[in-house]
């Protein structure tokens, strides 16, 4: 198995990918820096569908803050009862390492998540912790970008990514991606990911967008695991702009206190 992985890694990284593709790099940077608002909140509804057709639903309060390029996202689950009060928080600063925390009521403890868990799947969904944190952007330190040209069939902009190192691939769970980007909203509306061995892994699609507080927001999206047949569909209800969001609601100390009241 180790020899097979080493061979796959060698094939993935033997090409000369150090030289940046300027149009693609510019597009990736524009996606990463697309306009955001300083606060929004809404009810996040998850529909998890197994390959057998069995469906499970989950509900959470999602709070998002972007102030001076300091991005914070909190997700506070309320249903079903088995996961109620479970909470996740991520802090993403441009000048320091990301920080992520998870609160599990059964342990009554807030646990800080190491960066090595970015590729772990979030609460039984088909989204990783990294997917949640990146919020439909591509981490500029993880990828070499290419293409950046209009797709002749859709009119969207094609963007491709090759992970920078095998170590990053193992950390995030992906080796490559191919995306179609809406040039108006700068949202990747379809992204196909390969796993660390270069095999097709999953497709993520944004199916509805809306302007909230002057910033485009993904209101409906889904992730389909091509290897397991499992699908996660997410939509938001009661999404609203919160211009004076209290900074204290998105701190690690808040996680064990339950979902905060946000008006």
What's the structural domain count of the chain? 1
* Structural domain includes residue 68: yes
* Structural domain includes residue 90: yes
* Structural domain includes residue 242: no
DSSP state of 210: E
* Structural domain includes residue 260: no
* Structural domain includes residue 144: yes
* Structural domain includes residue 262: no
> CATH number, domain at 73?
2.50.20.10
Tell me what pLDDT residue 71 has. 93
Tell me what pLDDT residue 3 has. 35
Asked if residues 159 and 150 have their Cβ atoms less than 8 Å apart, the reply is: no
Element (H, E) at 2: helix 2-13
d(CA 248, CA 17): 43
Tell me what pLDDT residue 2 has. 33
- What is the Cα Rg of the chain in Å? 18
CA-CA distances (angstroms) from residue 181 to 31, 43, 253, 255? 9, 26, 37, 34
Q: Do the bridges between strand 231-241 and strand 70-79 make them parallel or antiparallel, or are there none, so unpaired?
A: unpaired
Tokens matching residue 55: 């469906």
Tell me what pLDDT residue 5 has. 35
- What is the reported pTM? 0.89
E runs forming strands in the chain: 40-49, 55-67, 70-79, 87-92, 99-104, 109-113, 143-150, 157-163, 176-182, 187-194, 200-212, 215-225, 231-241
Tell me what pLDDT residue 7 has. 34
Domain containing 7 equals: 2-237+248-255
Tell me what pLDDT residue 13 has. 36
Which residues face 247 on adjacent strands? Answer: none
Give the helix ranges, DSSP H, for 14-75.
Answer: 22-32
The dihedrals phi and psi of 171, each to the nearest 5 degrees, come to -70, -45
From first to last of its 263 residues, the chain has per-residue pLDDT tens of: 433 333 343 334 333 333 458 999 999 999 999 999 899 999 999 999 999 999 999 999 999 999 888 999 999 999 999 999 999 999 998 777 889 999 999 999 999 999 889 999 999 999 999 999 999 999 999 999 999 999 999 999 999 999 999 999 999 999 999 999 999 999 999 999 999 999 999 999 999 999 999 999 999 999 999 999 999 999 999 999 999 899 899 999 999 999 998 87
* Structural domain includes residue 243: no
CA dihedral 215, 221, 226, 229 (to 10 degrees): 160
* Structural domain includes residue 191: yes
């Amino acid at each position: 198995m180790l020899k097979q992985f080493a061979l796959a890694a060698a094939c993935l990284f033997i090409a000369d990918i150090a030289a940046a593709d300027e149009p693609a790099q510019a597009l990736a940077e524009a996606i990463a820096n697309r306009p955001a608002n300083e606060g929004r909140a809404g009810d996040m509804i998850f529909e998890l569908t197994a390959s057998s057709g069995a469906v499970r639903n989950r509900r959470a309060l999602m709070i998002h803050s972007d102030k001076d390029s300091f991005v914070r996202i909190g997700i506070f689950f309320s249903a079903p009862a088995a996961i109620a009060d479970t909470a996740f928080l991520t802090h993403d600063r441009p000048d320091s390492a990301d920080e992520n925390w998870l609160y599990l009521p059964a342990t009554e403890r807030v646990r800080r998540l190491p960066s090595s868990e970015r590729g772990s799947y979030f609460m039984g969904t088909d989204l990783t912790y990294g997917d949640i944190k990146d919020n439909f952007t591509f981490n500029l330190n993880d990828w070499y970008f290419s293409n950046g040209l209009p797709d002749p069939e859709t009119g969207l902009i094609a963007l491709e990514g090759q992970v920078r190192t095998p170590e990053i691939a193992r950390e995030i769970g992906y080796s490559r991606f191919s995306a179609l980007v809406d040039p108006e909203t700068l949202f990747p509306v379809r992204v196909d990911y390969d796993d660390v061995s270069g095999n097709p892994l999953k497709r993520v699609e944004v199916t509805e967008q809306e302007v909230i507080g002057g910033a485009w927001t993904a209101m409906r999206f889904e992730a389909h695991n091509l290897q397991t047949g499992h699908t996660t569909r997410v939509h938001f209800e009661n999404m609203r702009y919160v211009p004076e969001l209290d900074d204290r609601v998105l701190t690690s100390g808040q996680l064990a206190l339950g979902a905060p009241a946000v008006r």
